[in-house]
């Protein structure tokens, strides 16, 4: 029978195994494994289940802005678009186009209080289209403040989407 290993012709002979287990050999291997383990890339965040389309990586946001971003992606983006540029999936159904929050020239003309009021009271409450719903009944003032803070970051992002997302 040829498939059994005899002691002296085996792939790893007893003395070879002993040499391998020597600290001078083993230690560098263990250190290398620890270093590789520490440097191995680790996913920061699970994919955002609320987003309807891939979103440009967020710049560093404050905690308040990050709260706003999450709310925005779940309840605002279907009209205003995940990038806030007004191209949400529901936008074609609206007679009045949702505001483009990335338009810095326009966004400079509205104050944080204006944004707060229209988000809380809706378009109808501010002489604008009723197609912008009022959120005061569903969101706390802090959540609305978080949305204001996030919306204000959108116009500072510049032209956000990459080449796969035309801005129309």
Q: Is 69 in the site for ligand HEC (CB under 6 A)?
A: no
User: Do residues 136 and 121 touch, judged by C-beta distance below 8 A?
Assistant: yes
At its nearest, how many Å lie between ligand HEC and the CB of residue 33? 48
For ligand HEC, how many residues bind (rule: CB under 6 A)? 24
Beta carbon nearer to ligand HEC, 28 or 129 = 129
Beta carbon nearer to ligand HEC, 80 or 153 = 80
Measure Cα distances from 127 to 15, 76, 117, 124 in Å: 88, 20, 11, 5
> Tokens 């002296």, residue?
8
**Binding map of ligand HEC across residues 117-146, x = CB under 6 A, - = no contact:** -xx---x----xx-xxx-x-----------
Q: Is 94 in the site for ligand HEC (CB under 6 A)?
A: yes
Q: Is 73 in the site for ligand HEC (CB under 6 A)?
A: no
**Binding map of ligand HEC across residues 24-63, x = CB under 6 A, - = no contact:** ----------------------------------------
At its nearest, how many Å lie between ligand HEC and the CB of residue 141? 13
Q: Which of 81, 99, 100, 146 binds ligand HEC (CB under 6 A)?
A: 99
Q: Integer distance in angstroms from the first to the last C-alpha of the chain? A: 75
Residues making contact with ligand HEC (CB under 6 A): 75-76, 78-80, 90, 94, 96, 98-99, 110, 114-115, 118-119, 123, 128-129, 131-133, 135, 147, 151
């Amino acid at each position: 029978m040829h498939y059994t290993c005899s002691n002296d012709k085996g792939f790893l002979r007893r003395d070879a195994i002993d040499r391998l287990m020597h600290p001078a050999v083993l230690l560098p291997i263990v250190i290398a494994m620890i270093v590789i383990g520490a440097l191995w890339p680790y996913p920061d965040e699970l994919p955002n289940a609320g987003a309807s389309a891939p979103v440009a990586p967020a710049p560093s946001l404050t905690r308040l802005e990050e709260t706003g971003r999450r709310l925005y992606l779940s309840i605002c983006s279907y009209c205003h678009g995940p990038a806030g540029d007004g191209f949400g999936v529901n936008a074609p159904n609206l007679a009045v186009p949702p505001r483009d929050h990335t338009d810095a020239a326009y966004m400079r003309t509205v104050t944080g209080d204006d944004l707060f009021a229209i988000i809380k009271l809706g378009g109808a409450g501010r002489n604008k289209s009723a197609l912008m719903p009022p959120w005061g009944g569903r969101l706390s003032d802090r959540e609305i403040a978080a949305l204001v803070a996030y919306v204000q970051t959108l116009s500072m992002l510049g032209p956000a989407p990459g080449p796969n997302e035309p801005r129309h």
